[in-house]
Amino acid sequence: MFKQKITILNSAIMLVILSMPVLSVKYDKLTPNAQYTRAVKFLEKESYKKAEKALKAYTKSTPEDTDGWNLYAFTNRKLGNYEKAEDYYQKALELDPNNKSALEYQGELFVELGRLDEANNNLEKLRMLCKEGCLEFQMLERYINSESEKLYKK
């Protein structure tokens, strides 16, 4: 009798376990925070294709996060998808016109596209936002200057 009760209990436990939903590791099944964290890890490894997938899911689930759009744009820029990158930087800056990181990275995109006037406009915006100076201003200034030097040497 005791063995029969254990068998019935084991069967009931197995039935409960088998009826539980299986957790998926697909990007769209992760929490937004996990998607973002995964994307950052991919970016640190320069795995841009994988980061793009994670950020696509992240921005879909968290469309109001300016930093998500900024990283999605950055990733697309690194993949050579310049039109997408430009659209996503614009989205990030629509959400937060003072996002210093987005202004820096968008400025770098402008430099890569040969649009130095627009890159310098971003640099001026950063100068105004960073009265005491900031890393984003310094990085974009260096990027513009290094590309300008290459143009003069040609």
pTM for the whole structure: 0.76
Task: Please indicate, yes or no, whether residues 92 and 103 belong to a single structural domain of this protein.
Answer: no
Can you read off the two tokens belonging to residue 30?
């992760």
Give how many domains the chain has, as a whole number. Answer: 2
Domain containing residue 92: 23-96
Task: Please indicate, yes or no, whether residues 89 and 103 belong to a single structural domain of this protein.
Answer: no
- Domain boundary among the residues 96, 119, 139 is at 96
As a whole number of angstroms, the distance between CA 5 and CA 9 comes to 6
Q: What is the pLDDT of residues 15-40, one digit of tens each?
A: 444 444 433 334 445 677 888 999 99
129: which residues sit within 8 A by CB, 6+ positions away? Answer: 98, 100, 103, 137
Q: Establish if 111 belongs to a structural domain.
A: yes
Strand, helix or coil for residue 145: helix
Task: Please indicate, yes or no, whether residues 142 and 130 belong to a single structural domain of this protein.
Answer: yes
Secondary structure E strands in the chain: none
Q: What is the pLDDT of residues 34-88, one digit of tens each?
A: 889 999 999 999 999 999 999 999 999 999 999 999 999 999 999 999 999 999 9
State the Cα torsion 89-73-108-121 to the nearest 10°: 0
CATH number of the domain enclosing 92: 1.25.40.10
Q: Establish if 3 belongs to a structural domain.
A: no
Q: What is the pLDDT of residues 80-115, one digit of tens each?
A: 999 999 999 999 999 999 999 999 999 999 999 999
